[in-house]
Amino acid sequence: SASTQNMPAAGAICAALKRRRPDLSMILVGGHVAALPEQTLGEEHADFVCSGEGPYTILELLEVLKAGEADYGRVRGLVYRDGDATVATPPAPLVMDLDHGMPGLAWDLLPVEKYRAHNWHCFGHPGRQPYVSLYTTLGCPYHCSFCCIQAPFKSGEAMLGLKETVNSYRFWSPQVIADQLELLVQRYGVRHVKIADEMFVLNMKHVNGICDLLIERGLELNIWAYARVDTVRGDETIEKLKRAGFNWLAFGIESASERVRKDVDKGFKQDLIFETVERVRAVGINVIANFIFGLPEDDLQSMQDTLDMALELNCEFANFYCAMAYPGSRLYDQAVKEGWPLPTRWSGYSQHAVDTLPLPTKYLSAAEVLRFRDHAFQVYFTSPRYLGMVERKFGVETVEHIRSMASQQLVREHVVAM
């Protein structure tokens, strides 16, 4: 399983495994694969590709392989080779009852002690291991044009009769999630947790249910999760998140321009950004602010306004991205239709690669967007106001870590110096 920018690594792993074990059967799954199943099968050394979500396809394929048969046509959601032909079977359904269909993970097969949390996640903490990420929901009801998160679910959604404009959004029960986290704490000593949901703070019954159980069990976790500035409702819920161990919330602010945000279906108002960040930080929850440069309506002034907003908010951490037309997103479909220049290698979709190639905008070249992104990163993480706040909250060692991080200059193929 791999995202678009990680496909070179996934492909290299497949090729290496095939060299060592030619008899090994391999299947590729994930968002990139579901968006481009036939193309992926043609490019990689895998035997099979999953065109949808995965669980039913993998289970049915295992049953066929275990029986020693080659009747792949009865495996739903599978793309495979039959001689020189590529065959795509009918789609597999979505797993609608997550509690019973996928009740937990085989944590005993994963060396969690070898995984470490993001650097910012452990600001002020002595260690970053062990670490896990865990889903409590699948899917997202929003339709941000740059997002590809729904790609693995679209074929299953079509089977449900959902319109193209309607996204599925499914939940595990709070009880199942709390049981998983308690197991991780007691058996594996886990403290640092990423809630991997595309949008965790959304359904308040779900959020409050999980928080109540975590507080009741006193697990002393250090958790981060995604939210939107227009979904964090009620100071009581924010305070409960903090008591449950949510020390970080990540917000997709994207741009300081309402015009730019509205164009990518991020329609919240300007005042709400500052209000929500202030309310969250007031209870002791740290904020990761995510910004995107090079969205279709961006120009140099709107990108500068976004950097100015980031500096004014002065959040505990910030991510600065270039707009990318990831396969599976509406932006990708638009880019292909309009003939916009796209990376020629999957590594070009990475934010930090030598060959990173973002989208141009109506007003800016890809090189201008990339140059501004790297400039913004340096300005933010060397800001005296930011470093002073970090020192007060997390200590001198964290400041030195950030200075070291900011000193690493990225080599870029598609940009010239400012």
**pLDDT tens, 338-394?**
999 999 999 999 999 999 999 999 999 999 999 999 999 999 999 999 999 999 999
Residues 55 and 32: their CA atoms lie apart, in Å, by 16
User: Mean pLDDT score of the chain, rounded to an integer?
Assistant: 95
- Decide: helix, strand or coil at residue 74: helix
Q: Are residues 48 and 176 in the same domain?
A: no
Q: Are residues 216 and 332 in the same domain?
A: yes
Q: Are residues 239 and 146 in the same domain?
A: yes
Domain end among 68, 88, 108? 88
Residues 78 and 90: their CA atoms lie apart, in Å, by 8
Q: Are residues 102 and 9 in the same domain?
A: no
CB 351 within 8 A of CB 398: no
The predicted structure's pLDDT at residue 159: 87
Q: Are residues 229 and 301 in the same domain?
A: yes
Residue 415 domain-assigned?
Answer: no
Residue 173 domain-assigned?
Answer: yes
Question: Each residue of 66-99: b (16+ CB within 10 Å) or e?
Answer: eeeeeebeebbbbbbeeeeeeeebebbbbbeebe
Half-sphere exposure of 250 toward its Cβ, with a 13 Å CA cutoff? 22
Nearest to 308 by CA among 89, 316, 300: 300
Q: Are residues 342 and 215 in the same domain?
A: yes
Question: Please, which pLDDT band fits residue 416 given cuts at 50, 70 and 90?
Answer: low
The predicted structure's pLDDT at residue 233: 85
Q: Are residues 82 and 102 in the same domain?
A: no
Name the residue with tokens 């913004």. 376
Number of domains comprising the chain: 2
pLDDT at 418 over 50: no
The fraction of the chain above a pLDDT of 90, given in percent, is 92
Alpha helices in 266-329 (DSSP H): 270-282, 300-313
Token pair of 390 as six digits: 């970090």
Question: Please, which pLDDT band fits residue 130 given cuts at 50, 70 and 90?
Answer: very high
Token pair of 88 as six digits: 């795509």
The predicted structure's pLDDT at residue 162: 86
Structural domain that includes position 149: 98-406
Q: Are residues 256 and 377 in the same domain?
A: yes
Q: Which pLDDT tens digit goes with each residue over 60-116?
A: 999 999 999 889 999 999 999 999 999 999 999 999 999 999 998 999 999 999 999
Residue 246 domain-assigned?
Answer: yes
